[in-house]
Amino acid sequence: MPIYKIFRTPEWEQLRQAGSTTGAPVDVADGFVHFSAADQLRETAAKWFAGADGLWLLACDPETLGAALKWEVSRGGALFPHLYRPLLISDLLWSRPLPLGDAGHVFPPEIP
C-alpha cells in the first residue's frame, strides 16, 4: 500500500528539477519528510492544506524507501511514516495534481 506526500507547486517543481528534496519547510524544520498513509491523507490535507490550491499528491512504495522510513507516533497517537533521508524523484510511484473542489480537495479514486 503506498504512502503519500502533499507538496505545494514550488516544492514539487524543486523536486522535479533537482531530483531530490529534503521536503517542505516543516519537513526541513523537523528533520524528516512527513508522509501519510491512505487513511490519514484526507485529514492531513484538511489540517495542513485547507483551502490551498496548486497542490500535488505524490505516492511512494514504503518497501522501496528502506530503513530510512520510520513509522512514528504522531497526531492522535497514530503511526505516521517519516522519511529520514532526502526524497528522490526515483522514489515516486506517481505524482498527480490535487485540485481544490467546492467541498475540499479532490483525491484520486483509489484514495479511500
pLDDT reading at 14 higher than 80: yes
CA 70 vs CA 4, 51, 63, 103: distances in Å:
14, 29, 11, 32
With a pLDDT cut of 70, the percent of the chain lying above it is 100
Whether 48 contacts 41, CB under 8 Å:
no
pLDDT reading at 36 higher than 90: yes
With a pLDDT cut of 90, the percent of the chain lying above it is 92
Q: What are the structural domains, with CATH classification, of the chain?
A: 3-103 (3.20.170.20)
User: What is the rounded (10 degree) CA torsion for 18, 85, 77, 45?
Assistant: 0
Report the chain's mean pLDDT, rounded to a whole number. Answer: 95
pLDDT in tens, 48-99: 999 999 999 999 999 999 999 999 998 788 899 999 999 999 999 999 999 9
